[in-house]
Amino acid sequence: MQRILRATIHTLNGLRAVIASEAAFRQELVVLGVSVPLAFFVATDNWKRLALVCLVLLVMIVELLNTAIEKLADRVTLEHDPMIGRVKDMGSAAVGLSLLVAGLFWLLALWERISAFL
């Protein structure tokens, strides 16, 4: 039970740290807050609503991992290092691709909803 409590505390500390230091994560929190009620309007099935919200959460998870990579890389050295730059670029690409996937699913769901009225 203590391990679960410590893991929960570490999770909350990590979330506090990323919220304090990353504007992108704060923006994604706003998107999450908007996406939950919007998913009820856009999707008609519960599993689709859940999928739309989970895709936003997936973007946030990838953002957390990218931020961790960037913070660790900056801890290793603040000097310009091409290899570290590539690693940071790869993390950024992961965020970009997760945003693309989430955006495509949301667009498809919106199209499905709009086309039902046409």
Could you please report the per-residue DSSP string of 51-83?
Answer: HHHHHHHHHHHHHHHHHHHHHHHHHH-SS--HH
For residue 30, give every residue at least 6 positions away whose Cβ sits within 8 Å of its Cβ, in sequence order, or none.
none
Catalytic entry in 63, 70, 79, 112: 63
Active site residue 22: no
Active site residues: 63
